Structure 1
């Protein structure tokens, strides 16, 4: 089977010149290679709207077959567009994606937005909670599995603390990395370590979904 990824830069395979910046989708394949092939269509800067307008959604749909999983995670850039607020354009676009995935015979999996590293007074403060809540509502209404990356990353940062959580993101002082000669302190985009941790959690949840699906089929056959 295939696992197809739709999302923004926090999911995408980042350009070589941005190394070690990375989206979690770039690290998913090693965790699932025994049972699935990963196809990452995510793109930096993408919204639920631009992903369709630029043809990326159609390319993903053309690749999807019955039995595949399609993971969808947006929010960071939708948040910057007034018409793509969580309970309006964003939710509408996600619902359309779910319907179209099912129309291909594939299985949609919604992911809440990974959180930013955002601390105030030493406390991790959410910046994407409304988008995570919107995903949860859609999942309940449409019966879609959810991987709650917003909650998981928020707890990860809180446990590490403000300084410790920086180890998951792209942070370099001036003159310490060839790709970032002027330095960088990016609290949105993961480094290789942070992206790999998120990918491991995603893979764990996907295995649970897969095993649950197989068990349901087994029970159905036994009852039948």
Structure 2
């Protein structure tokens, strides 16, 4: 994946496309995040979790380029690409929210979050982040328009924004139902780190 992202960065440089360059660069940086978290913070990042995190940014970066020789990119030419990347990215956001919140719940005796509430919390967390992301997307697009430059992120209108939030919710629901089982080790490691900080 990282080699492909480096290749995409060069494609962006060759085309003079800021959007491709920024998205490939961000994707490349995020692809190193699991290794950094494991090495620097002793957080268990198994292959599945690493693939989950990196796939979200990888598919987004690929989507900004498209196939060689094709006009447009996957976001423009494949109707479901934006939906897929939103659902996948929001599932990573949901997993992050769940993991940190559950670790705090386990760490602190003052905090108790029942499982039913955690389900609702994950959905609210994902929706809040989704709205925040859409505002950022809008602001970047408007700023680029005002400056007369190409936008790094594209917003296709209100209907697209609402659909993005629907697929963000789907990603959150998937994590709320099935993802929590895959995050037990990571949650435990974060809880242990918090407990270690308290005992110092």
Give me the TM-score of the superposition, normalised by structure 2. 0.32
Structure with larger RCO (C-alpha < 8 A, sep 6+): 2
**Which of the pair is proportionally richer in helix?**
2
**Which of the pair is proportionally richer in strand?**
1
